[in-house]
Structure 1
Amino acid sequence: MSWFIAALRKTFNFSGRSRRKEYWMFILFTFIISVILTILEMALGLEFNENFGILTTLFSLILLIPSLSVTVRRLHDTGKSGWWILISLIPLIGGIVILIFTLKDSEPGSNKYGPNPKKAAI
């Protein structure tokens, strides 16, 4: 949970680097909270229609900027520009490319986006 909160604290920080653990823990907790909210919506009948619920829509809107920032920092950690996030707008192919980039290990040492966050955490 501390990695999720750390990513939220850096909501408007699109510079620097985020290691894989920070990125994937953010994704994991976002998924878990979304599932819990969906179940809660179904139990309380808080759905707009069968595809959208009030709580999950609000949660998604709140996490839009933090999700973008942690993804940009993750791309920076692999040595890619944050602008690569725009490739996700291409259906299927874009998502696969972003998945591959976020699964890659950090660039060793410092890169043009800052020092390696793995070395700082050890």
Structure 2
Amino acid sequence: MSSYTSPPATGRSSEPPIDQPYYGAPIGAAVKRFFAKYATFSGRASRSEYWWWTLVVIIVSIVLNVLSLALGGSGIGQGDTSSMTAGATVITVIASLWTLATIIPTLALAWRRLHDTNRSGAWYLLVLIPLIGSIILIVWFASAAKPEGQRFDR
């Protein structure tokens, strides 16, 4: 198992193979790899791959909520939907489709991120424990890669 590549001290000149984590990935590469590994639960994901995608999700959610509010809605997932305007309804449908399209790959990315820290992806089920589970997962997602995590590579 000598194929482990530790995170580089400086930038890389080329992108690693898709089945390996991309340490120090720029946002574009992280998003591209997210969709390329759409439902891949095996392997590993670097911190940068995970956190860039998390930032994209947060930005998209904020934009959709602002658009919904600007078009007369009450925000995505908020309040009474019976009085929403047509524009706000369209934004809500787009937000729902976005969520459906990205939920499985987001779970797969979290699973692979846990693998990079040498933990089974099943630890993601800690999210079911209110507050404490999420805090533990955030700490693990932010932790450094461990060489032992390569056991999850195929």
What TM-score do you get using the length of structure 1 for normalisation? 0.83
Q: Which of the residues 58, 61, 66 maps onto 2:105? A: 66
Structure 2: stretches of 5+ with no match in the other structure? 1-26, 80-90
RMSD: 2.2
Higher RCO structure (Cα 8 Å, ≥6 apart): 1
User: What SS does the aligned partner of 1:63 have?
Assistant: helix
Supply the distance in 2 between the matched residues of 1:50 and 1:70 (Cα, whole angstroms). 24
Other-structure match for 1:25: 52
Q: CA-to-partner distance for each residue in 1:20-50, whole Å, 9 max, x for gaps? A: 0000000001111111111111112355876
Supply the distance in 2 between the matched residues of 1:42 and 1:48 (Cα, whole angstroms). 5
Supply the distance in 1 between the matched residues of 2:31 and 2:39 (Cα, whole angstroms). 15
Supply the distance in 2 between the matched residues of 1:48 and 1:42 (Cα, whole angstroms). 5
Q: State the AA in 2 paired with 1:12.
A: A
Structure 1 range deviating more: 93-102 or 56-65:
56-65
| Higher Cα Rg, which structure | 2
Instruction: State the 1:62 CA deviation.
Output: 1.9
The count of corresponding residues between Structure 1 and Structure 2 is 115
| Residue 49 to residue 7, structure 1, CA distance change in 2 (3 Å) | closer
Give % identity. Answer: 35
Q: CA-to-partner distance for each residue in 1:99-122, whole Å, 9 max, x for gaps? A: 11101100136621129xxxxxxx
What TM-score do you get using the length of structure 2 for normalisation? 0.67
CA contact (8 A) 1:77 1:106 kept: yes
Q: CA-to-partner distance for each residue in 1:51-83, whole Å, 9 max, x for gaps? A: 176133332222111110000000000000010
